[in-house]
Structure 1
Amino acid sequence: MKEYEIYSLRCLDRMNPKGIDQTPCFSWKLKSTQKDTYQKYYSIKVWRENEILWDSGNVESPCTDHILYTGPALQSGTTYQWQLTSVDSHGHRAVSEKAEITTGILEKSFWKAAWVQPVRERKPVRDVTDSGAILSGAVHSLEYPEAILDAPVYMRKEFVADKKVKKAILYMTALGIYVCEIDGHKFSNLLAPEYTAYAKHVEYQTYNITKLLEKIGPHAIGIILADGWYTGKIGLMGIGEQYGKENAVIFQMEIQYEDGTAETICSDETVKWHTGGYVYADLFVGEYLREEGVPQKFSAPGFDDAGWEYVEKKEYGYETLCAQSIDPICCVKEIKPKLLYTPKGEAVLDAGENICGFTKFATYTEPGVEIGMEHSEILDQDGNFMQNIMGQNKNQKDRIVPAGAWTLYEPRFTFHGFRYVKITGLKEVKAEDFTICVLTSRQDKTGSFRCSDERLNQLQDNIYRSQQGNMVCIPTDCPQRERAGWTGDMGVYAPTAVFNMDMQSFLCRWLSDMRIEQHVDGQIPQVVPDIDSNKYVGGNTGDPHISSAGWGDACVLVPYAIYRAYGNTDILKENYQMMKAWMDYVEAKAGVDLLGWGKLFHFGDWLIPSIVASTHKPIETALRTKEEMALGYMVYVADCMKKIAELLGKTKDSLHYRMLCQRGKDVFCREYVTEDGCMRQSLQGLYVMALSQNMLTEKQRQGAVKRLADLIHENGDSLDTGFLSVPFLLDVLCENGEAKTAYRVLFQQKRPGWFYALQFGATTIWENWAAILPEGTRTNSSYNHFAFGCVGDFIYRRIGGLQMEEAGYKKVRINPDYSCGLKWAKTEYDSVQGRISVHWKKEEDTIYLEVLLPPNVTGIVHVKEKQIEIGNGRYSWTIEQQI
């Protein structure tokens, strides 16, 4: 390793971003072999071809992130290079490799293309709207969904490039999902253009297609357009046409020739369309492809499209269009599955882990015989294939009828949440013929944790895998049943999420949709992006209150978690008006006595295990706990708002939220807590909420701690906390003298608990603590929900010992809890500053501690009773303990 190095160059928090339409900002990370190193100054240069466009000059600053470009205006569809030089406090000079930026469309007036769509009559939407019937299992997916689904359409347009092409850029998007190819060469992103709040936010993709137009002469662009999120059967209810009645596409090709001339090829009324091959292609239901109907070489010039029809132009405008702002969905892993035969004799592929993705194959087939691939998360108690996802249009089954003796098949318009795949229609199933592709929106892995207990290591793997599988376009609750952006899930999970992965651009895009979806009165929908069919989930009562404490609060909690992890106040500035409007709504409904907020509907401490087990009605957890949790979260979020307002220099607002926070604490104590610290309801989560937000007097606190510990012990040292309180549970115990109780809760293997699922081979985090009952009975739960993985944040901070002292990890506190019962633990985090590592191990009466901090980072290390301040570098301590 060199003495001083630069790595991880980013522009707009992405590596070599393509098609940006924002002013670039630059970030990088540093490594150094010397202690007490910091960046003294940096310089950035930006090139267009061989011309230096901007030189920042030497800027004296330790800052390494979000440095704004201030050079001449950039041009649309242009590739730029940039390079960084950094000099450290010891005089070492590091020069980075060059990185690239490609701009998209920088002015709306640039668009010349027309939105186009097929002219046809679609099947009427007859989907069930009774949520009770769907959730009870009374409504099932159709065995033959072709009765209700429409076919994707093929589109094509021919053009001529009659001179040598110097550069060709294609801008393209759709209301639906598209696959694009030129002259038979496929090049478009997976599941493009991805899921956004379509009514006001549609992202286009930028493709450099220069190499595809090397041949002088005729060419053709071909598109397959499917329903996707726009008209497909999406959400919990599985109801179609949530955004529109028909899919549409728009594309604009900008060609520059070697002789200096230019040409624009656009989507317009000359585009032709036809069906063929695909009978249907739905995100949730799956694909049905009949190979004999595929129009071969439809994207090649000279294809006979005499029987095709012309599209119609639509005036959808360009105002909703912006460049893709996150890295595209991609296959991050390919799995070769194992083949098993169930007691029923069915051929089932086992991926070995629960994932989000699809199954592809290349094998010998019988022409005309349908092959089916049905996806599910679990096998039943006897080892047979079980479809655990209930509801309408949740088939998760891909079907293909081969036209020849050899078939290669890869889904293009669907994905699934699964571990097992039931194969039908093949005389002989060979595992080696199949490949399972793991999908996610690409985000760099930043955090890792390993320790001496393999169960905890498996839990960390499960947390990470659930996060990966639920980060496709938006943060989803699950990758199979709903794929919905439930705000409450990310609200509780965000601190863990930003440790495991670089989530900046991904979550910022989702928050932009949250701002779009916010109601005029300040309410935040439970699900972002919001869809009309969500109203049926709550019974379509027409109640104007559509938000919930803890769920709507994500508009504050998520931006604040992003700021804490990455140290960038821009995220707070961008979302402050949304946060403030939400808090204004909460306060208006709370009234002068602050109790009105809790009288409305809230999900409360959702999914408390004991209440769910005794009533079999999850809604009972909401009804019993909504008042206390609503007020408790008002206090929690008001305290966050106070800190955010301080950071942004909004002194008046900060004072207001400080007073609101204190008023909330006073009301909570008066209404819900006795003088000796007993809650009006003996529920663990309510004690946790009161203690975590410091709402109690000292006398009340002591009584509440004892009562909480008693409740846990009475429950077999198991948790009985719900959705909103579980993130605070273990910290509350540790901070109040009950660390041993906290670790018994974490490490015990009984239900409910994090290790319980491991006994049943869980590879992801379950939605429900009781997804599988002790005797082995499988339920119709989701087996891939990241929310309860929020325990990861506790593990990294308390056991790993890596604690953030200043936002962006500019200063850290190293304070592992060696009494946790482990022999060793290693935590690493690639922060915006660089890699931080904490490794400790115990050998008899001695503890060995190693710490690595990157340049620009300082730390406080706890060594026995001492707190030692350190700069960056590698350090080690040997700590003798008294037995």
Structure 2
Amino acid sequence: MSLTVSTNSYFPLGMGNPYPEFAWKLDSNPSNHGVQTAYEIQVSIAPDFEHMSLVWNEGKIKSAEQFGITYNGDPLESRTQYYWRVRVWDSSDSPSKWSKIATFETGIMDPNLWTAKWISAKPLFDPKQDKVLYFHKFITASSAVVNGRAYVSALGWYRLFINDVDITGPCLVPRWTPTDHTLEYQTYDISQHFHVGRNRITIVVGDGRYRGRLGVATRRCVYGDSLAAFAQFHLQLEGIGELVSTTNESWVVSEGPIQRSDPRDGEVVDLRVNSSESSLVNSFPVRMITPPAAKIIAEEVPRVQEVDRLVPIDIKRTPSGKQLIDFGQNFAGVARIRLSGPAGTKVKLEFSEIVGLNGELDLKYVFMGFPGSLEQKDEIILSGKETWFQPFFTIHGFRYVTVDGLPATLGPTDIQGIVLSSKLPTAGTFECSNPQLEKLWKNVFWSLLSNFVDTPTDCPTRERSGWTDDIQIFGPAATHLVASQEYLRRYLSNVEYEQFDDGTIPPVIPSETSKFSGSNTLSRARTSVGWGDVSVMLPWTLYRYYGDKAVLEKQYDSMRLWVDQMELRARTKRSWKGMVSSVYGDHILDTGFHWGEWLRPDEGVMSIILTVLLPPSAVVATAYYANSTRILSEISAIIGKKEDSLRYQAAFTKIRSAWQAAFVQIRKDGIRIGSDKQDDYVRALEFDLLLPEHRPKAVDRLVQLIEKENYHLATGFLSTPMLLPALTANGRPDVAFKLLLQKTCPSWLYQIERGATTIWETWPGYDKRGNASASHNHYAFGSIITWLHEGIAGISPLEPGYRVILIKPTIGGGITHAKASLETPFGLAISSWKIINSGDGEKVDLTITIPIGASAVVHHGTDITEGVPAGTHFYTWRLK
């Protein structure tokens, strides 16, 4: 069995939950006795599990659950190592052997155990500038360190060094949270990094998300203007006992090689400055600052760190003489470069996704015609010694780098692309006979890597913001790519905090203005359906794909606030007053601001401006109001809130009736919905807004609109993820395949034809003159890969968490074979099919693997087999 404990699968050190959740996966060994009918968990402070060392053992529990098992003993203690194991019983009531022992160690959970102080610099370091601070301290170990832990945080991104060894490594920590509410700390095992005698500790702090430029407005100092460090070191000394050392008045602060840093603009580094020497010669006493109001918590998801390393595919000169490096892949990260030249030589690296038509880096394309220019650059002053350089506190979105001022000509071994992302385990794979679809899948994966950083962002170049709509629509796709449950849980915690008391949710999370500042009025005014619905739809995604009932309970109040504020806004009549009966008018949401469908293929810059200025689209807004109300009714029932469930179900019925009365016209030639766009019909079908007898007409009209566009999609951000599923579920997979395989714009494969290595923000990606436009690394339209997995390969959850797996491959599009795998909460599920040409026609061979603990319903041809048990199974049927 493989065992996991909450976030402990990522962090064996420093877990911060006193009531963690346990999970396990059963392997295929017969000794596990087949299906689980009961389990027993033991948690102990010693590996022998003797009675006196047990802290939790409830005995045999009759249950088939294998995940989401919440610890129910006394609260776990801080800074303690725990051991745990599990055994299970099968249908014959025979127990398995105990699993292998797993361990985890808690961090500092009791706030009273913190003795560290927040240290900053005196005003001689102008906070309006972006100076990087170097904090220093010597710690003397009078005997060997048997065990050592460091607990570190900062206002800004930081690196911890012990005796000049980089303990943090190339990570961007702490993670971006609303720093006026929550701040993460990291735990490090420092046992091997101390020696007997004096040990020099350095904590380097740069702007990070705390003080760096954020969002479209590029504001600095959103959360504060003083960088600070916070650290506590626990050293177990041989023969002596514990030594505790913390950040306090005894530390000093200095400048160092990094002169300036910004998470989006880059770094300025003077390699002539020696940080070790400056700590001794040019240091000043630190300044104690008032502790931030934020609660300090242990990190909950993997750090943003190096996940891959790329080498150039081409190096050449631009017309202006700069060295131009092409890594062949768009990504988020930094460059690592070998530098040499006379002391004082200034070298500048600039980064972009695009090389313009003039052969130089294009730094303006991403602003879509609006004023602006990318400032992604690193500037280095050489020391005269050959060295490898890699920045600490920045991250760029790029494929291309120009190097200017370097005397040496770079070779392919002199520069590398360091890919930075949250280090989440890969969850799924996809392959098929169409290489362009395989390339599409890879492009989506690269866009995920680029944007799953310290918060899920829209793009790694322009605003780099946590737009709520992007992750709302991409959440299901993410579950097919990486283990994203804890990552998305963390994001939802931020959503819950940033939500206002009236239920509105800013469109960007974390908000780029302090919640308690007057400047957040804009965020309040710009809440929108489709965006704020992340509070309901993303927890629902986690429940469907991970069986995560706990997140429904945790986020329930946030969901209710969001839906209830939509109800209140719907009752505030505006344009619909008098146009439909008063019975329906109270349920039409046409007040406030809404972004609408967003970025349909025919929408340019002027459409974006009009979206902000014109009244909202009530057909879109009311549909989302209905959908979130329906989902909330289901969630209420799942977590045992029956009265709420009935109330929201009744509300959904009224909203749906109002939507039908206001926006649906039944005519002799069929049906018309809203403004008669493709997305109007997609929402109607996927949100269950139509009477049963009207659904076929809506499907027919949707197909007519697609045919009118010569089998091109005309949907935007919100509805594109639902387009192919809506067609497939309603009997038109043939049209779905035509859209998927379309190679002219707008389409997914058009981007592949144009050489894309990630997903673009807009369908064309370039203007009519051939200039790039908008972000070229935006995962929103990459939500299509959900259909590659669930449609073509045919793996989807029929019951939450894949307890029952639906295997329903969709054959078509000239694809002759397809295979997808997914690491479900129960284990690896696989669906693989291929078309075989036999003497009497074509047939399909389907091979599936179902993990222990799950079962499947399998659609093979026109037949359906239910109750398929764990194991590998084979099916064959003839194609018509």
TM superposition score normalised by structure 1: 0.91
Distance 1:343 1:712, change over 3 A: same
Report 1:537-552 matches (<5 A).
Answer: 545-552=525-532
Look up the SS of the partner of 1:378 in the other structure: coil
Shift of 1:229: 0.7
Distance 1:372 1:877, change over 3 A: same
1:651 and 2:642 equivalent?
yes
Aligned residue among 645, 662, 667 for 1:671: 662
Shift of 1:157: 1.4
Q: Which amino acid aligns with 1:261?
A: G
Report 1:280-319 matches (<5 A).
Answer: 280-296=260-276, 304-305=280-281, 307-316=282-291
Partner of 1:808: 801
Q: Which amino acid aligns with 2:590?
A: G
Distance 1:474 1:847, change over 3 A: same
Distance 1:278 1:358, change over 3 A: same
Partner of 1:134: none
Aligned residue among 714, 739, 742 for 1:748: 742
Partner of 2:356: 380
Partner of 1:876: 874
Partner of 2:847: 850
Q: Which amino acid aligns with 1:398?
A: D
Look up the SS of the partner of 1:211 in the other structure: coil
What whole-Å deviation, never above 9, does each CA across 1:627-660 have from its counterpart, x for those lacking one?
Answer: 1110011111111111101101111111111112
Partner of 2:120: 117
Aligned residue among 727, 730, 739 for 2:724: 730
For 2:610 and 2:696, locate their aligned partners in 1 and report how far apart those are by CA, in whole Å. Answer: 31
1:701 and 2:695 equivalent?
yes
Partner of 2:496: 515
Aligned residue among 294, 301, 307 for 1:326: 301
What whole-Å deviation, never above 9, does each CA across 1:73-109 have from its counterpart, x for those lacking one?
Answer: 5332233333444455586846544433121112111
Partner of 1:136: none
For 2:176 and 2:243, locate their aligned partners in 1 and report how far apart those are by CA, in whole Å. Answer: 31
Aligned residue among 631, 634, 645 for 1:640: 631
CA contact (8 A) 1:26 1:66 kept: yes
Distance 1:618 1:797, change over 3 A: farther
Distance 1:540 1:49, change over 3 A: closer
Partner of 1:337: 312
Shift of 1:39: 2.4
For 1:535 and 1:667, locate their aligned partners in 2 and report how far apart those are by CA, in whole Å. Answer: 37
Distance 1:36 1:599, change over 3 A: farther
**Which has the larger displacement, 447-456 or 539-548?**
539-548
TM superposition score normalised by structure 2: 0.91
Aligned residue among 859, 864, 868 for 1:862: 859
1:179 and 2:159 equivalent?
yes
For 1:702 and 1:75, locate their aligned partners in 2 and report how far apart those are by CA, in whole Å. Answer: 59
Distance 1:175 1:838, change over 3 A: same
Report 1:220-231 matches (<5 A).
Answer: 220-231=200-211
Shift of 1:683: 1.6
CA contact (8 A) 2:211 2:227 kept: yes
**Which has the larger displacement, 513-522 or 380-389?**
380-389
Partner of 1:128: none
1:608 and 2:600 equivalent?
yes
Q: Which amino acid aligns with 1:447?
A: G
1:17 and 2:12 equivalent?
yes
For 2:520 and 2:876, locate their aligned partners in 1 and report how far apart those are by CA, in whole Å. Answer: 63
Distance 1:88 1:12, change over 3 A: farther
CA contact (8 A) 1:609 1:752 kept: yes
Report 1:329-368 matches (<5 A).
Answer: 329-342=304-317, 344=319, 345-368=321-344
Report 1:45-84 matches (<5 A).
Answer: 45-48=42-45, 50=47, 52=49, 53-54=53-54, 56=57, 57-71=59-73, 73-84=75-86
Distance 1:663 1:571, change over 3 A: same
Distance 1:699 1:87, change over 3 A: closer
Computed over aligned residues only, the root mean square deviation of the Cα atoms, in angstroms, reads 2.6
Shift of 1:10: 4.2
Partner of 1:777: 771
CA contact (8 A) 2:130 2:262 kept: no
For 1:534 and 1:825, locate their aligned partners in 2 and report how far apart those are by CA, in whole Å. Answer: 48
For 1:336 and 1:220, locate their aligned partners in 2 and report how far apart those are by CA, in whole Å. Answer: 35
Partner of 2:733: 739
Aligned residue among 2, 5, 17 for 1:7: 2
CA contact (8 A) 1:239 1:533 kept: no
For 2:682 and 2:613, locate their aligned partners in 1 and report how far apart those are by CA, in whole Å. Answer: 16
What whole-Å deviation, never above 9, does each CA across 1:303-349 have from its counterpart, x for those lacking one?
Answer: 634x4211111121575111111121221111112233255143211
CA contact (8 A) 1:10 1:16 kept: no
What whole-Å deviation, never above 9, does each CA across 1:817-857 have from its counterpart, x for those lacking one?
Answer: 11343101101111000000000111231110101001111
Aligned residue among 630, 633, 642 for 2:621: 630
Look up the SS of the partner of 1:609 in the other structure: coil
Shift of 1:588: 0.7
Look up the SS of the partner of 1:18 in the other structure: coil
Distance 1:287 1:334, change over 3 A: same
CA contact (8 A) 1:477 1:486 kept: yes
For 1:231 and 1:541, locate their aligned partners in 2 and report how far apart those are by CA, in whole Å. Answer: 21
CA contact (8 A) 2:223 2:514 kept: no
For 1:535 and 1:65, locate their aligned partners in 2 and report how far apart those are by CA, in whole Å. Answer: 38
Aligned residue among 404, 414, 427 for 2:394: 414
What whole-Å deviation, never above 9, does each CA across 1:99-124 have from its counterpart, x for those lacking one?
Answer: 33121112111011111110125658
CA contact (8 A) 2:468 2:507 kept: yes
- Structure 2 gaps of 5+ residues are 572-582
**Which has the larger displacement, 6-15 or 785-794?**
6-15
CA contact (8 A) 2:340 2:382 kept: no
For 2:615 and 2:252, locate their aligned partners in 1 and report how far apart those are by CA, in whole Å. Answer: 59
Shift of 1:62: 2.6
Report 1:764-843 matches (<5 A).
Answer: 764-773=758-767, 776-779=770-773, 781-843=774-836
Look up the SS of the partner of 2:418 in the other structure: strand
Partner of 1:135: none
Report 1:224-239 matches (<5 A).
Answer: 224-239=204-219
Look up the SS of the partner of 2:201 in the other structure: strand
Distance 1:542 1:98, change over 3 A: closer
Partner of 2:575: none
CA contact (8 A) 2:346 2:382 kept: yes
Aligned residue among 132, 141, 146 for 1:161: 141
For 1:400 and 1:12, locate their aligned partners in 2 and report how far apart those are by CA, in whole Å. Answer: 38
Q: Which amino acid aligns with 1:852?
A: T
Shift of 1:681: 1.6
CA contact (8 A) 1:567 1:807 kept: yes
Partner of 2:253: 273
For 2:685 and 2:657, locate their aligned partners in 1 and report how far apart those are by CA, in whole Å. Answer: 13
1:255 and 2:235 equivalent?
yes
What whole-Å deviation, never above 9, does each CA across 1:146-182 have from its counterpart, x for those lacking one?
Answer: xxx4210111112322233332221110111111111
Look up the SS of the partner of 1:114 in the other structure: coil
Distance 1:109 1:812, change over 3 A: same
Aligned residue among 437, 442, 455 for 2:436: 455
Q: Which amino acid aligns with 2:849?
A: L
Q: Percent identity?
A: 30
**Which has the larger displacement, 283-292 or 374-383?**
374-383
